[in-house]
Amino acid sequence: MAKPALGRGLGALLGGNAPVVKPPAPASNNPSPAAPAAAVAVAATVIDPRERVQKVPLARIRPCAFQPRKDFPPESLRELADSIREQGIIQPLIVRTVGDHLELIAGERRWRASQLLNLAEVPVIVRDADDRAVLELALIENLQRENLNPIEEAAGYAELVEKFKLKQEEVAQKVGKSRTVVANALRLLKLPTPVQAFIRDGRLSVGHAKVILGLATEKDQKSAAERVLKEGLNVRQTEQLVLKLANRAAGVVASPTKAPLVVTDTHVADLESKLRETFGTKVQLRYADGKGSVDISFYSDAELERILQLLGISNS
């Protein structure tokens, strides 16, 4: 399947990989008659100034407030700095002019690594871009490189939704993701700050987080997350824990005689996993000889409303 096209922000800002145009040689006091003025005029028209790589003082460049990536591991920056020391900066930074300084659009890791090396100048390409285009490009660049942790990714989507009034479908189209992926990412921001921190540093997976979101209160969500980490629970074990906590909160006593269904068919298990990913909650698929059922669990009215929306069903 062809990969969905990314947002227009990337192509519009980065353009193609145009060759760096060398500056013309200084004019001679005795210009050659073999170089007519018409040829010089044609040469001037084919040079796109937006593609010109120029060296600027590192001190003129400032980070961008719209940069979705917040975590820059020191070890990774040191490795990049070592590479720049040996090879130089291969890919210019993309910047825009803001007042008397230049603001980063893309290339903050290279900028930070250059600071470690105390470089005087760095190569840049200057672009014209508004705030929304800058955020789109920063998101796309990081998503392509898989540099963002899930919380940073979700925060970037949220900024497009809240600051620029985009719908989830529009955000998904711009960054080349499905609406479901964007919707599930945004739900992570509903978790308590400590739980988001667990996801940000990789201690808690997105799969765990989606299950924990089934709990109605922040207190229960935080308690479940801490227990998952303490006991090293996998996603399926977390589902059982969340179900138990949700039943306890609702005053429901679980039946001790009802054994959980064990899915043995690998194809069924894979499909069940995809359903669980789509709905962001526990999904149980029973299948045999072309017949069966799909059980979608929810643990609150809000959770039910969300699932109905994913199914395209209006509750009004």
Residues serving a catalytic function are 108
Distance of CA 225 to the CA centre of its chain: 23
Distance of CA 133 to the CA centre of its chain: 15
Distance of CA 32 to the CA centre of its chain: 55
Contact 227, 241 (CB under 8 A): yes
Contact 79, 37 (CB under 8 A): no
> What is the chain's percent helix, strand, coil content, to nearest 5?
50, 10, 35
Question: Cα–Cα distance between 115 and 98 in angstroms, integer?
Answer: 20
The token duo for 206 is: 């997105």
Backbone angles phi, psi at 93, to 5 degrees: -75, 145
Question: Cα–Cα distance between 218 and 192 in angstroms, integer?
Answer: 6
**Neighbour tally for 160: CB within 10 Å:** 24
**Neighbour tally for 89: CB within 10 Å:** 20
- Please, which residues bridge with residue 284 across strands? 295
Rg of the Cα trace of the chain?
Answer: 26
